[in-house]
Amino acid sequence: MGFDVIMIGTLMAFGAALAVFYAIYTAITIYDPMDKRVKALNERREQLKADIMASGAPKKRASLVRKNETTDLLTGWLSKLKVLQDSQLLVVQQKLAQAGIRQKEYGVAIIFGRMVLPIVLGLAVAYLVYWSGAYPEWGSTKRFMAFAAAVILGYKAPDLYIDNLVTKRTALIRKGLPDALDLLVICAEAGLTVDAAFNRVARELGRAYPELGDEFTLTAIELSFLTQRRQAFENLAYRVKLDSVKGVVTTMIQTERYGTPLASALRVLSAEFRNERMMRAEEKAARLPAIMTVPLILFILPVLFVFILGPAACSISDVFSPHGPVKGGH
């Protein structure tokens, strides 16, 4: 194939050594994810308090806004190059919120990475395949394909990383949403207010479903501090890429506006979500035979045939060999 076996072996050994060091580090390091979550929620609470205190004083409010010199520098540089669009930045910031990253200023870093990573990876691969002479046996087509793959990977890498985080987080939230709605029904029937109910559900489900607990806690904080409670529910739908959550938000907004019974509406939603989860499980079980067909044909049946027909084939080969079977030591 034209690859340097020694270099590939060296890279694999280097990767294995890094994996060993990372495993040792994770084994000896005590990491508590609750500290990071509590810190992020406290920051949001303090930010809302500062907004309320500085609502009548623009100068004081401007002094309370947290500045990030690196982000400001990147924003100014990208604006000069005419590559920073407000609509594009809003889409990236929503993806970051859906991935659980609360810092909106990281959206500028994602756009900056889209622009810089293709250049860096493209130049590195171009130097490796064109100028360094590391792969002299490669043709022009293979070199161009390697260069194009590096450029495309550099452009798509930030989005792929964020989309992967969003997909995993959405799946975890979807798993715990029916239980959360059941607890909300119990809290509503017990006479708790909406923000107190969200707080209670977040405490009860914080260990089992930490992502959902974070979202409910943040919603409870915003319900306590925002002047419009509708905005707090809309922020929940903004941060979670899930149609079920949008349905819950719509129900909560209608309940706040028209005074409809909250417990009955949430009970109906919870039953629908549980039926939907059961239907997804049945769908996966129904797809399993079709998915297992290809591995069965490629990996299981050949091995089975070798074990069953192998001894018979060896015996037939000995019988029909030119020398014939060995008898009596002659």
| Prediction pTM value | 0.68
80: pLDDT confidence band, cut at 50, 70 and 90? low
pLDDT digits (tens, 9 = 90+) for 102-143: 887 788 888 888 888 888 988 988 888 888 777 778 888 888
Please answer whether residues 195 and 220 qualify as being in contact, where contact means their C-beta atoms are separated by less than 8 angstroms: yes
Q: Which of 94, 75, 212, 211 is nearest to 162 (CA)?
A: 94
Give the pLDDT confidence score for residue 170 in this predicted structure. Answer: 92
DSSP one-letter code for 66: P
DSSP one-letter code for 67: P
* Cα distance between residue 49 and residue 316, in whole Å: 86
Q: Which of 69, 49, 44 is nearest to 60 (CA)?
A: 49
Please answer whether residues 185 and 270 qualify as being in contact, where contact means their C-beta atoms are separated by less than 8 angstroms: yes
pLDDT digits (tens, 9 = 90+) for 227-257: 888 888 899 999 998 888 888 888 888 888 8
pLDDT digits (tens, 9 = 90+) for 170-191: 999 988 888 888 888 888 888 8
73: pLDDT confidence band, cut at 50, 70 and 90? low
Give the pLDDT confidence score for residue 60 in this predicted structure. Answer: 39
Ramachandran region, residue 220 (left: φ > 0; alpha: ψ -120 to 50; beta: rest): alpha
70: pLDDT confidence band, cut at 50, 70 and 90? low
* Cα distance between residue 222 and residue 155, in whole Å: 36
Give the pLDDT confidence score for residue 100 in this predicted structure. Answer: 86
Task: Using the predicted structure, report yes or no on whether residue 68 has a pLDDT greater than 90.
Answer: no
Give the pLDDT confidence score for residue 57 in this predicted structure. Answer: 44
- Mean pLDDT over all residues of the chain? 80
Within 8 A by CB and 6+ apart from 214, the residues are: 37, 40, 41, 100, 202
* Cα distance between residue 106 and residue 93, in whole Å: 8
pLDDT digits (tens, 9 = 90+) for 195-229: 888 889 988 888 888 888 888 988 888 888 888 88
Sign of CA dihedral 82, 83, 88, 92: negative
The alpha carbons of the chain give a radius of gyration, in whole angstroms, of 30
Q: Tell the burial category of 111 from Cβ atoms under 10 Å away from its Cβ (0-12, 13-18, 19+).
A: buried
SS3 226: coil
* Cα distance between residue 176 and residue 182, in whole Å: 10
Give the pLDDT confidence score for residue 319 in this predicted structure. Answer: 81
Give the pLDDT confidence score for residue 59 in this predicted structure. Answer: 42
Q: Which of 60, 64, 75, 61 is nearest to 105 (CA)?
A: 75
Task: Using the predicted structure, report yes or no on whether residue 151 has a pLDDT greater than 50.
Answer: yes
Please give the C-alpha separations between residue 242 and each of 167, 176, 228, 251, 262, in angstroms, as whole numbers: 10, 12, 23, 15, 21
* Cα distance between residue 28 and residue 204, in whole Å: 29
Between 84 and 164, the more confident residue is 164
Structure tokens at 153: 């990977």
Average pLDDT of the residues in 10-25: 87
Q: CB atoms < 10 A from the CB of 53, how many?
A: 12
For 252-296, the DSSP string reads HHHHHHH---HHHHHHHHHHHHHHHHHHHHHHHHHHHHHHHHHHI
163: pLDDT confidence band, cut at 50, 70 and 90? very high
Task: Using the predicted structure, report yes or no on whether residue 325 has a pLDDT greater than 60.
Answer: no
Between 74 and 275, the more confident residue is 275
Q: CB atoms < 10 A from the CB of 306, how many?
A: 11
